[in-house]
Amino acid sequence: MGIRQPPDSLDIDKRHDWYEEESAFFRKALKFDKYRPFVTSNGYPGLGQASVQVDDRVAIFQGCSVPFTIRQQEDGDYHLNGPSYVLGVMDGEAMENGPAFQEIVLV
């Protein structure tokens, strides 16, 4: 398989649609059609809900066995996107020397 690039004639706004269309078969084959790969600002690769966007955060809730992605709203509260897989965080590694728990409001 070769790597395809979008036509030069496509403007930047249309490239995202081109990538989505070209990768649909492979995402379905890899079951990524409902999930989106991401990399945290600390460099941890992850897989989250398809709704994950740039600037979303990964949260570890006390008592939960998996991390979640959350999105901060304009009013400062957070929206829960859903569970995620984050390499290097799944087995409690983040809690060894990680930040202290803080309280947030989910809406």
The string of pLDDT tens digits covering residues 42-81 is 888 888 998 899 999 999 888 888 899 999 999 989 999 9
Burial class (CB in 10 A: 0-12, 13-18, 19+), 53: exposed
Burial class (CB in 10 A: 0-12, 13-18, 19+), 68: buried
The pLDDT-based confidence of 32 (bands split at 50, 70, 90) is low
Instruction: Return the bridge partners of 37, or none.
Output: 47
Which backbone phi and psi does 70 adopt, to 5 degrees? -135, 155
- The pLDDT value recorded for residue 33 is 66
Question: Given a cut of 90, is residue 31 above it in pLDDT?
Answer: no
